Structures are given as C-alpha cells and as structure tokens.
Structure 1
Amino acid sequence: MTSATKPATLATVAAAAGVSVATVSKVLNDRGDVAPATRALVRRLLAEHGYVQRQARAKRGTTVELQLDGRLCGHSAEIVMGAMQEAATAGAALVVTSTDHMSDGLSWARGLVDSGRHAVITLVAAPSQAQLDVLLEANLPIVVIDPLNVPASPVTSVGPTNFAGGMAATQHLLSLGHRRIAYLGGPAHAASNQARMHGYRAAMEAAGVPVRPEYVRTPGYCFEDGVREGAVLFDLPEPPTAVFAASDESALGAIQVARGKGLRIPEDLSVVGFDDTQIAAMHAPALTTVRQPLREMGAVALRTALRLAAGERIESRHLELATELIVRDSTQAV
C-alpha cells in the first residue's frame, strides 16, 4: 500500500515528520508553540496522508449533547453560542438539554448512546460523581466547562485562568491607590472561587497590604449574593473603597446596595467584576471586569468533545484559557 491508501494515524504522520505525536496534535489544534517550519512540514504530511480529510469526515455526523445547568443567563449563553458556532464549522450536531433530565442511572446514560450521542459537554457547575461515572461506563466522553471543583473521574475540563484574573483585578485597584479592597467571591468551597481569591490575596500580599478578614465574603456568584453581602460590607465601621467581585452579577448587586446608601460609582466606590458578559458593558457606569473567553471556552469544549469521540488522545485533562482585564468606567483613582 502507498501512504495515500493507508489509514493514517497521528503516529504515522509523526514518524514521517520526525517529530512527536504531541507535536502533530498541536498542529492539528492550532497551538502556537510549534516552530513555523515544523508546522508547515506537518501540515504538508497531514495532507499527503489524507489524515485531515479523514478526521473531518469522521467528525461530521457526530452528535454532542450539551447539558445546561439551570436557566440560560448571559454567562452560559455566550458559552453555548461558542459551542454552536464550532459545531456548525465542524459539521457536527449540538443538542442542548436542561439538567432536569440528568440522572445517575446507567440506563439514562445508555439512553443517550441509543439516541445517537457521541459525547457530552456539561455546563453543570457541580455534576455528581455518580453522573460522571455512569457516562464513563457508557463510553460517552465528557467535557466539563468551568466546574466548581475538579472532577475525581478522568474527565476533561475547560476553564479560565482564575488565579491570574483575580490577581489582575486586584492589581488594577491597587494601582489606583485603593488599599481597603474587599473580595466578594463565589461559593467558599468552589475551586474557581478559591483560585480567584488566591489571586486577590497574592496581589495584596505583593503590595504589602494586609487583607482584612471582614473584607472577604464568599456567598456565591448571583446578583442576590452581591446585594446581601454588599450590605454587610458597606455597614462596616470602615467600609471598603473598592470591591473585587468574582462575577459580574454579584458586582452589580453590590453596586445597587452601594447606591442605596448614597455612594457614587466610581467616585466613592470602585468595583471590578469577573466574566465580561454583555450586561457589563451595558450597565451605567460600564463595569470594569475580568473577561473570560466564554465563546472560546464553548468552542474549545466542542472541539475537545469531537476529538474524544473520534478516539484521539487529549494531552491535558484540564485546559485553561487566558483571562483579560477590561477597564471601563466603574473604577477610578482614590
């Protein structure tokens, strides 16, 4: 047989190029850490072996189920849109379902297979171990998006650089001269909250600014959490002059309470959020926030699910995408 008729594998192309299988996989997934000459060689060999065309055909007709946790809000809508766009590009089908239909029974997982599902993406904040286990037992690859905690099962997850984002938000407030900076976080046990809070603490420590225990609140990511804990913060004998909230919704909840107490934003109180959902730019004043690459997270999750469904090996069980501080009008110098 010639190389044009052999069923190509990553190993086949890697051997022909004299590189590792991991390098070929990086080229396939448009990773940036491959030398241009090597990238060109690998792409040429992929084409010669017909690998790219065969993989693309294999992924066409693949159906991925995306399980949504609760209502479709700004945060999840952006992720779903990214997954939808990527599915359309890949010629795959994406089925979005509510977590009301989730179960921890094997018959439920096998029902997904019988319905033609080839992989599952879950936007459930805290999928149960039993639910993950039955999906694995049914041989359904799973990708979890930004889980509250890293799953114990060998499943792949996608999320943002939470620590770096928390650090960037706090450093921004410190650079404006703020020293009484509060952290309004997510659920205390959540891995995402812990990472963002550690970023906050690391920035404060590096600046030599002590973290006041009463300034650290970890209620949750919702608007109501920001309202409730914001009221506590602004009733302190020495309230903060700035708040880093671990979500846009809780940031806006804190702003509502602050305004009710006669505080002006940003003249009397600077606020930074986390997410950069559409409401952040629409709010008045526009919210300074840490942008999560939400659509890209959805797209990466979909690409990863397709690779797993095709039997490809994933180099990392947890994929982190870079965050970015977006400075708008809700922060100013002391």
Structure 2
Amino acid sequence: MSPRPVGSRPTLALVAETAGTSVPTVSKVLRGGTDVSAETRAKVMDAVRAVGYTRPGGTKIDGAGDESGLSNVLTLVVTHFEGSWANLVTAGVGREAATAGLDVVMTLAEPHGDWVSRVLRRRTVGTIGALVDPNSAQFNALSAAGVPMVLIDPMSTPPSGAASIGVANWDGGRMAAEHLLSFGHVRMGVVAGHARHLFSRARVDGFRAAADTASSGEATVSVVHGGWNRDKAAAATHTLLDRDPGITGIFACSDPMALGIYDALNARGLRIPEDVSVIGFDDLPEAYCVSPGLTTVRQPTTELGAAAVRLLIDLSRSEDGGPRRPARMELATELVVRASSGPAPATAALRR
C-alpha cells in the first residue's frame, strides 16, 4: 500500500487499495448496494476502519435536492413501532423534522437484520436511532458514508464518537426512592428492565444511592428484572414479594412494567397504595388512565425526539465549520405524584 502523505485525508482510492478492490466497489458498499458479496463488504469496511476514512460533507440540510428528491429526508431507526413511548418519540421527531423542512423515513432494526445497508441506500441528512444498539462496525459504516447518527437512550455504551441524547435516569431513580422514604417506606423493591441496559442500571443505581444515603443503611432494596414487559413484570413482582412479603414500596423502571406490578398486587389481594405503594417511570398516557393514578417519574419523551433532530442538524452543519453540540445531552426528569403512593402500612411486616 502506498504511504499516505502526512496530513492528507484518506480517500476512496486508498480504501480500495487497502481492501484489494476497486473504487466503484468501495463506493457501492458505502451506498448500501446489495450486489456486493458479504466477503467483499467486510473487506471494504475493514479497510475503512484501517485507514480512518470518512466521507466528507454528507447531504446538507440546506442543500439542493438530488435527482431522487430525497436529500431533505432523515431516517428514524427503531427496534419496534408498538407502544406509547415509541409513538411519542416518533411524534417529536416528526414535528421537529417538519419544522426544519425535512421528511422522516422509518427503518425497523430487526435482530440480525442489515438495517445499515437499507439506510445507506437512500440519500439522507442523517439517522436517529431510538433504543437502537449499533455495534462499532455498523456505526463505522454510517460514519464512513458521511451519515451522522444520534442515538436516543442507547442501551449500551455507544461507540467512540457517537452522539447520544437521553434523560437524567439516575436522578429519576433517586427521586422515586426519596418519595417512598418520605412516606416511611424502608423495605422497598425495584422491578428493573434488562440488567445490561444502561438506562435501567442508572435508574436502579439512583434509587439505591438515595436509599443508602437517606436512611443511614436502614432501608433495604431488592431488585428483580421484568424485561420491559407487563407480563414479565407481574411475574417478577410475585418473585419479589415471595422473597420479602414485607416490602411496602415498589419502583418500576417503566410505566408498562408498573402496570404488571398492579396486576400482581391485585392477584395477591393487596391494595394500592394502602398495602403497597407503586412508582413508575415515563409518565405515559397509561399512567393517568389506570386506577389508582400512577405516581411516576416523567421523562420528556416527545422532546427527546425533537431534541435528537436538532442535534442531528447541528452535526450535519458542523461539517461546514458550524458550532457543534456536546456528544451527550441529558434532559431533566421530574416526579409526578398521583394516587398510587402513600404512607407505609404499620402491619406490612406481618404479611405472609
């Protein structure tokens, strides 16, 4: 391979030479072309990483449309379409995109599916991933193609250089614990999502920290995992109370899982909040439609989508020397008190 002059930018020709293929083939891979073998695609992406190639100046927000008319499009990549959280994020993305003169194309990131190639096949100003967990190879492919990406609440530590936006999850967990402690609850439970998810761990950690600090070690916190699913959360709640029937306050790391806690407590003949207080996380429409109304930690879900669009626009414009926002942004959370939380019952320790 010919040495690259010091200070020069890696080129497609250098990538092609490193991969042992042609410039048109490299270009085809970076456009998401389907008529390239998996072996060749892997060689090209290995070469991209080896030489540090990134395409300069992707499609700009204020640029003229290309012949396909898709230059004013952004891509929203999601792992699922169902549920209030996904709908609210999509609404925020759609409204902010419309304000910026952009249209939104949605792409489903199925397990083991090649969603990156589908994104690369269209001209786009960038990509927003909601609860998407891109690996380094996927992120590098987008970066090499000049497609900026913003992650909304990444499930694991993002690849180096990835921009992300989320909420103050740790602080939300802290507020939930402090609220229960203020009502005299000292035996508490947490129904978390998945143990490996960053935002679930942060909510649990914030809850634990508040319990440890405010109660001088007198409070106990038991944690089970409900997999972000109502039925699994109900089963996890039964496990939690079988282990410790004296628990009087339960924090769910999402509102849908809080509904599973409601189901389990109802099945056991326990009243909310007279016997057990329940706090959720999200403040989805379900939180104020259920009876009793769910005390929950509100995250600004629609604003998450809108802020992700603004950050993506900034990233696109930064290629022209404009100001660039921080790689990580966090929006504030707040506690919304409703009827599902109240004083700890004096007879809780006698329950069996």
Match of 2:240 in 1: 233
Matched, 1:316 2:326: yes
Query: Which residue type is aligned with residue 87 of structure 1?
Result: A
Name the CA distance, whole Å, in 2 between partners of 1:256 and 1:181: 18
Name the CA distance, whole Å, in 2 between partners of 1:150 and 1:199: 18
Matched, 1:260 2:267: yes
- Deviating 4+ runs (over 3 angstroms): 55-61, 100-110, 209-213
Match of 2:196 in 1: 189
Name the CA distance, whole Å, in 2 between partners of 1:129 and 1:269: 44
Name the CA distance, whole Å, in 1 between partners of 2:223 and 2:278: 15
Shift of 1:313: 4.3
Structure 1 residues 110 and 157, CA, compared in 2 at 3 Å: closer, same or farther?
same
Name the CA distance, whole Å, in 2 between partners of 1:181 and 1:175: 13
Name the CA distance, whole Å, in 2 between partners of 1:201 and 1:264: 25
Structure 1 residues 80 and 206, CA, compared in 2 at 3 Å: closer, same or farther?
same
Structure 1 residues 130 and 166, CA, compared in 2 at 3 Å: closer, same or farther?
same
Over residues 223-271 of structure 1, what are the superposed CA-to-partner deviations in whole Å (9 max), with x where a residue is unaligned? 1231121011122353310001111011110110011000011111100
- Consecutive unaligned residues of structure 1, counting only runs of 5 or more, are 1-54
Match of 1:147 among 148, 154, 172: 154
Match of 1:94 in 2: 104
Matched, 1:206 2:216: no
Structure with the largest fraction of helix: 1
Match of 1:124 in 2: 131
Matched, 1:137 2:147: no
Match of 2:79 in 1: 69
Question: Identity of aligned pairs, percent?
Answer: 35
Shift of 1:287: 0.5
Query: Which residue type is aligned with residue 79 of structure 1?
Result: V
Name the CA distance, whole Å, in 2 between partners of 1:197 and 1:234: 18
Deviates more, 1:315-324 or 1:67-76: 67-76
Name the CA distance, whole Å, in 2 between partners of 1:294 and 1:69: 16
Shift of 1:187: 1.0
Give the alignment of 1:1-334 within 5 angstroms: 57=62, 62-100=72-110, 103-104=113-114, 107-111=117-121, 115-207=122-214, 208-210=216-218, 212=220, 215-310=222-317, 311=319, 312-334=322-344
SS of alignment partner, residue 280 of structure 2? strand
Structure 1 residues 321 and 238, CA, compared in 2 at 3 Å: closer, same or farther?
same
Shift of 1:210: 4.2
Name the CA distance, whole Å, in 2 between partners of 1:276 and 1:219: 18
Name the CA distance, whole Å, in 2 between partners of 1:244 and 1:138: 43
TM-score (normalizing by structure 1): 0.77
Over residues 2-41 of structure 1, what are the superposed CA-to-partner deviations in whole Å (9 max), with x where a residue is unaligned? xxxxxxxxxxxxxxxxxxxxxxxxxxxxxxxxxxxxxxxx
Shift of 1:286: 0.9
Structure 1 residues 107 and 322, CA, compared in 2 at 3 Å: closer, same or farther?
closer
CA contact 2:92–2:306 (8 Å) conserved in 1: yes
CA contact 2:277–2:340 (8 Å) conserved in 1: yes
Match of 1:20 in 2: none
Query: Which residue type is aligned with residue 184 of structure 1?
Result: V
Structure 1 residues 255 and 59, CA, compared in 2 at 3 Å: closer, same or farther?
farther
Larger Rg: 2
Structure 1 residues 220 and 210, CA, compared in 2 at 3 Å: closer, same or farther?
farther
Shift of 1:98: 1.6
SS of alignment partner, residue 235 of structure 1? helix
Match of 1:8 in 2: none
Alignment length (residue pairs): 276
Structure 1 residues 101 and 194, CA, compared in 2 at 3 Å: closer, same or farther?
closer
Match of 1:5 in 2: none
Match of 1:51 in 2: none
Query: Which residue type is aligned with residue 192 of structure 2?
Result: G
Name the CA distance, whole Å, in 2 between partners of 1:196 and 1:59: 44
Shift of 1:57: 4.5
SS of alignment partner, residue 190 of structure 2? strand
SS of alignment partner, residue 243 of structure 2? coil
Q: Aligned-pair RMSD on alpha carbons?
A: 2.2
SS of alignment partner, residue 296 of structure 2? strand
CA contact 1:144–1:158 (8 Å) conserved in 2: yes
- Consecutive unaligned residues of structure 2, counting only runs of 5 or more, are 1-59, 66-70, 345-352
Name the CA distance, whole Å, in 2 between partners of 1:238 and 1:230: 11
Name the CA distance, whole Å, in 2 between partners of 1:260 and 1:292: 29
CA contact 1:59–1:91 (8 Å) conserved in 2: no
